[in-house]
Amino acid sequence: MTDDDGFGPAVRGGGHSPRGAVLNPRPRPRSRADAYLDHGPPDRDDAGFAPAEKGRRRRVRRPRALRIVLLVLLIGLLAFVATGVAAALSASSKIDRIDVDGLQSVDGGRRNILIVGSDDREGMTRRQRRALGTGNFDGNRTDTILLLSIQGSRGAMLSFPRDLYVERCDGSSGRINGAHGIGGASCLVETVSRASGIPISQYLEVDFLGFHDIVQAVGGVRMCLKEPIQDDDAHIDLPKGCQRLNGRDALGFVRVRKIDDDLGRIERQQRFMKALARQAAQPSTVLNPLRLFPTGNAVGEALTANRGLGVMDLAALGRAGAAMGQGDFPTFAVPANPAWVGGASVLALDEAEAEPIFRSFRDGSVLDLAGSGDVAPEDVRVRVLNGAGVPGMAQAAADVLTERGFQVTRIGNHDPVERTVIEYTEGHQEEAELVANQAPGQAELRQVGSGPPVVLILGADAADALGR
């Protein structure tokens, strides 16, 4: 038997200062810094200064010119923050708002956000439908159902299989993805809450075209495939290996079902969500207003949300998204077993396995698992070198990495290179991959025989990505 999409049954899967200005004509004494003892003498940075070093503390009277430079730097920082706020406000103004019943506040400052990928084709032309391979089905079902629980920079994700057999808001029983078609967002919120006992505080929905536009706005998403994926129905033909997926290919990647089952599909969707979060949090996006605003606007135009969701909620999502991109998000799928009900292939909830997961999302204990991955940014020591030939690049990248928890051991210059490279020694590949997720441009990983554990060499592509 086939389902509504024509697929078979689901089975279980598992400022720098002006260079001409002399602020202090006397050279300052310097001593070797402890932070660089293991890495040789400190390199010069892009402005020609060595890194800050350890020495005796002395009171220095700052000349008026220096105070002016510091003021300019402060104003520049505030301007950057304002740009981010402005981008968030712009994005928020473009979100469609709807009334959603059944939303509840959550104790402890947590947010439980139901994120829904809808297969609604309304507003898409026939040409767009053909190009994206979405078919001509009319109506609205939920293609993806994710519950995101966040608090500060911690978060966890729970996926509900679309074929999960549940009691829906009107008392009928059937697949959970049909609840939206019965009573819209309110029905889906009630159905998910009833099935899991988890209170939902916010609601977000994105359709096919919106998903495509978000991926395009961030410049595509890099994925590495262990095997090729080919499916004419999903309009997808991807080779084995690492590649950057555009909006059309990304849509096919998260939707294709013929290569595995519903639970395997969930695993792909969760992988893609993390990769998308990494791309959206890259310096090439957040430090480049020419990309930041289009990305924010694309997100805003793609989303439908409950009326109470505001800029602060978007900011919370942004913090959590950065953590998701670093791999600090524990992810779960609702445990279920294949079953036949009324001649239809569905997934029946495994209550014994599901209840501990549901309880951890209800009481917030699942967030204690956040950041418990094998390698965290705090564990990674990285040297940042500027091979792009653009002043300030190494410092800019080092600042971003430091803010995200990485240990930047040195910054300096490198011979010009066209493409960003991350060199790593044996045993440090996972750390290098974590840095690659945060580096601007499309970094190439390269194992070397000796040297520091991880070295980020910024190429000309990084300067292009940052709009420099």
Kindly report the CATH number assigned to the domain that includes residue 138.
Answer: 3.40.630.190
Per-residue confidence (pLDDT) for residue 165, from 0 to 100: 96
- Neighbouring CB atoms inside 10 A of 222's CB total 17
Same domain, 141 and 119: yes
Same domain, 360 and 407: no
pLDDT 10s per residue in the chain (468 long)? 444 433 333 433 333 333 333 333 334 444 333 333 333 434 434 433 333 333 333 444 445 555 555 555 555 444 444 455 666 677 788 889 999 999 998 877 789 999 888 765 555 556 655 555 555 555 555 778 989 998 877 888 899 998 999 999 999 999 999 999 899 999 999 999 999 999 999 999 887 777 888 888 878 888 888 888 888 777 788 998 888 899 888 888 887 877 777 777 787 887 887 778 777 766 666 666 666 777 777 778 888 899 988 877 877 776 666 666 655 678 899 999 999 998 889 999 999 999 999 999 999 999 887 754 556 677 788 999 999 888 888 888 888 787 677 889 999 999 999 889 999 998 888 888 888 877 776 788 899 988 899 999 999 888 776 666
Q: For residue 390, is it within any domain?
A: yes
Alpha carbon distance, N-terminus to C-terminus of the chain: 56
Same domain, 297 and 426: no
Cβ proximity of 162 and 178 under 8 Å? no
Partners of 243 in the β-ladder:
223
In this structure, what token pair is assigned to residue 253? Answer: 């990647």
Same domain, 259 and 405: no
Same domain, 332 and 447: no
Q: For residue 38, is it within any domain?
A: no
Q: For residue 2, is it within any domain?
A: no
Q: For residue 5, is it within any domain?
A: no
Q: For residue 290, is it within any domain?
A: yes
Same domain, 328 and 397: no
Q: For residue 32, is it within any domain?
A: no
The domain tally of the chain equals 2
Give the residue numbers spanning the domain of 133.
95-367
Same domain, 207 and 264: yes
Task: Report if pTM > 0.75.
Answer: no
DSSP 378-420: GG-EEEEEE-S--TTHHHHHHHHHHHTT-EEEEEEE-S--SS-
Helix, strand, or coil (residue 437): coil
Per-residue confidence (pLDDT) for residue 272, from 0 to 100: 83
Q: For residue 25, is it within any domain?
A: no
Per-residue confidence (pLDDT) for residue 252, from 0 to 100: 85
Same domain, 183 and 302: yes
CA atoms of 350 and 358, how far apart (whole Å): 12
Cβ proximity of 428 and 382 under 8 Å? no
Helix axes of 311-325 and 64-94: crossing angle, nearest 10 degrees:
100
Same domain, 431 and 340: no
Same domain, 205 and 269: yes
Q: How far is CA 312 from the centre of its chain?
A: 18
Same domain, 176 and 261: yes
Same domain, 350 and 280: yes
